[in-house]
Amino acid sequence: MKSPVLDRRQLLKTLSAATLGAVGTSLVGTGAAFAIEGKTLKIRNDGDIRNLDPATRGGWYDETVMFAIFSGLVQFKAGDEWGWQLDAAESIDTKDPLAIPFRLKPGLKWTGGYGEVTAEDVKFSYERFADPKVNAVYASDWAALDKVEITDKYSGVIRLKKPFVPLFTSTLPHASGLIVCKAAVEKNGGLITTDPLATSGPYMLSKWQPKERITLTRNSDWPGPKPYFDEIQLYPLADKVAAETAFDAGDLDVTQINISSIAERKKKDKDVLTVKPALAYTWMGMNIENPKLADVRVRRAIQRAINVPEVIEGTFGEAVQPAFGVIPPPLLGARDKLLYPYDPEAAKALLTEAGVKDLRIKVEFGTDADLLVAAQVMQAQLAAVGITLDVRQMDGATLTAQQQDAKGGTWKEVELFFVTFTTAPDPSWVTEWFKCDQVGVWNFQRTCDAGWDAENAKAAEEPDEAKRAAVYVDLQNKLEETGAYVFLYHGVNAWVSPKTLKGAWTPDGQWALLREFSAG
């Protein structure tokens, strides 16, 4: 089965070359050599920016930009081990889990003439997550916050109402820990969209050409270590095959590539291949409010009809292992088995019991070449139990908008869909999106259980790792019991770059830490 997969991949790669013009002539057809000589870096971004507000950001496509232009008290370290280091903070004390004193580095300035970054900005940045007017998508990151107490211009204390274990793993070093300018945000009515208003990081957003290019330039007022590149150009290319084509043509200096490209890239010695285990989770979800999927027996039949190891082998070969839940190893709470593994006879019996014959259903997903292969393997497996699967690819942003449209009613038409979420190095960030308050926001299966939500909240407070892990296993068991989830893989993140570039990534390879890129 591997040869047809490679042939299909090569065909998609060839076809994708013709689509690159959509990102602008500034990228394709320039014939430019590696741009490092001019201190300009050209890099692929997963997508275009949607929202640069730490409280309401869209995803990693926003966060990659945000980590470069904003500063936080601390930031993720690059490398192979998860950890954090000081950023805007001169010091931070972690001894007391309910009171975290910090002191900012004096002289850190806002762009736009807004003066220095102060403790008042920190207080405003974190407390606004609870403001109903902000409607923070990531409100749970600061749900345990009582207040930020200001002690002087540069110092304060983060006071929590209750212990919150993920504070230094998935809140402060992540985008929810970034500091925004109180004066600039209040002047703009309390909102941040694609204009960050004022920033304090080593880079600033100098130009945005929607769907074409995001340009960052050095912040001349940045008092920290001077970043190597004068300018960084990010090109929003959702299609990794197209991005790889652009890299091979010399139009991109570094890009993420599909997992199916790894084996071929390993044979070459020309470039540097960086492969890291992803803290991501890909699954096939089912909209339980769609009439075709309202009966749990039908959903369970689909679960049992899909041979996930065969899907993964047919899609990625041996580069990726099947998933047993949403929490990726090595995070605590990762499962090692399914409750309802592949059993086509059980699937047929469930459909008969439900009185369902000749079921025709569609699966929708973005323009990912690997997921197209996975869908085709599933198509054959479902056909074996009497289910016809229609495969539909579309723009990922369009699909997400359809799933999130609770008022327009189009979400009711969604049936099956592939989802990939990325996460931070704590299981609380994995499970948070399946709660009742996430239905129609990020919970597209629309499963809702108040007891599940309460158990999930308690898990974030549990200091004992073994107990905490057991709770997260149970939470995943209950998700599988709904029948609305087919867990697929966690995967790896793979990047290709020239030997003359020294890259910097988080340990999962999800975020390119642009401020640390340099000539190798």
Contact 293, 446 (CB under 8 A): no
Does residue 210 register a pLDDT over 60?
Answer: yes
What's the CA gap between 233 and 216, in Å, rounded? 6
pLDDT reported for residue 406: 60
Order of all β-strands in the sheet with 89-92:
89-92, 99-104, 155-160, 145-150
Lowest mean pLDDT among 95-104, 195-204, 260-269: 260-269
What is the separation of C-alpha 193 from the centre of its chain, rounded to a whole number of angstroms?
19
Name the percent of the chain lying above pLDDT 90: 81
Mean pLDDT of the 128-149 span: 96
pLDDT reported for residue 482: 98
Tell me the Cα Rg of the chain: 23
Across 142-248, the runs of DSSP E, i.e. the strands, are 145-150, 155-160, 203-209, 213-218, 231-236
Mean pLDDT of the 284-307 span: 98
pLDDT reported for residue 351: 98
Q: What rounded mean pLDDT belongs to the chain?
A: 91
Strand partners, 45: 236
Looking at per-residue pLDDT, the higher value among 149 and 22 belongs to 149
Token reading at 454:
């309460």
Q: Which helix (H) or strand (E) holds 495?
A: strand 492-498
What's the CA gap between 69 and 51, in Å, rounded? 13
For 461-498, what is each residue's pLDDT tens digit? 999 999 999 999 999 999 999 999 999 999 999 999 99
Does residue 306 register a pLDDT over 60?
Answer: yes
Contact 117, 201 (CB under 8 A): no
Query: Residue with structure tokens 């699966």?
Result: 363
- DSSP codes joined into one string, 374-385: HHHHHHHHHHTT
pLDDT reported for residue 36: 55
What's the CA gap between 269 and 243, in Å, rounded? 19
Q: Is the model's pTM score more than 0.85?
A: no
For 6-48, what is each residue's pLDDT tens digit? 232 333 333 343 334 434 444 544 434 454 556 999 999 999 9
pLDDT reported for residue 260: 84
Closest CA to 483 of 310, 357, 351, 379: 351
For 384-425, what is each residue's pLDDT tens digit? 999 999 999 988 778 888 888 665 668 989 999 999 998 889
For 332-370, what is each residue's pLDDT tens digit? 999 999 999 999 999 999 999 999 999 999 999 998 888
Who contacts 495 (Cβ-Cβ below 8 Å, separation ≥6)? 254, 255, 256, 257, 273, 274, 275, 503, 505, 509, 512
What's the CA gap between 189 and 244, in Å, rounded? 41
Closest CA to 118 of 200, 219, 222, 204: 200
CB burial of 22-50 (b: ≥16 within 10 Å; e: otherwise) equals ebeebbbeeebebbbeeebbbbbbbbbbb
